[in-house]
Homo-oligomer: A and B are copies of this chain.
Amino acid sequence: MAKDTKEKILSAALELFSQNGYAGTNIRELSAALGMGKSSLYRHFESKEAIWNALLDEMIAYYAERFGSAEHLPPVPESLEGLTQMTMRMVNLTIRDERIIMTRKVLTLEQYRDPRARALATKHFLTGLTEMFTRIFTGMMEKGLLRREDPQMLAFAYTAPISSLIHLCDREPEKTGDAMAQIEAFSRHFVKTYGGE
């Protein structure tokens, strides 16, 4: 029961922090969103900062479990078209999942204030995707699907533009349709440029 309430608190905190930031969120709003009294929150967390730290713990643990282990790597595509399709599937997931959106937003808002948020932001926005696609592209080169070039450079050149459009969707959700189309066009352009031998 206690575990469950804690989880609900962190979930509501994620929602509010991602909208208004840590400083812009107060305990009264948070407890109201949970339908409980302000003071009840303190049965589960000793302070507002403790809520933030627990939320960050959770985000770090989730990221490590979800993207950190090799077992969760997507399979190397069997074709160039497969790369585009896999990309669109991943992007769709990451752009539609409210929890992932809120995680990106909160990391964006707190990256200059909290060192752990900073480190996780860099993983989320840059190095994580690059490492993941470095492996994928290495596999695709071995299969002869991609030209043999520095796979890390290719992964960076591929993921950074996509990541920037994901940020655009977070910022201006009404542009999601256009952004998705642009990501697909970019992926096909990439495939045309680097595909085959």
Hey, which bits of chain A sit against chain B, CB under 8 A? 18-24, 105, 108-109, 111-113, 118, 121-122, 125-126, 149-150, 153, 156-157, 160-161, 163-165, 167-168, 170-172, 182, 185-186, 189-190, 193-194
Q: Which of A157, A165, A170, A171 has the most CB of B within 10 A?
A: A171
Contact A161/B157 with A19-B112, A21-B23 known, Cβ cut-off 8 Å: yes
A164/B21 contact (C-beta < 8 A), A153-B185, A185-B153, A189-B153 known: no
Residues in B with CB closer than 8 Å to A170 are 112
Chain B: CB-nearest residue to A19:
B112
Q: Report the Cα distance A113→B165, complex, angstroms.
A: 19
Tell me if B172 and A157 are in contact (CB < 8 A): no
For A24, give its contact among B19, B21, B122, B150 (CB under 8 Å): B21
Q: Which of B126, B149, B193 contacts A168 (CB 8 A)?
A: B126
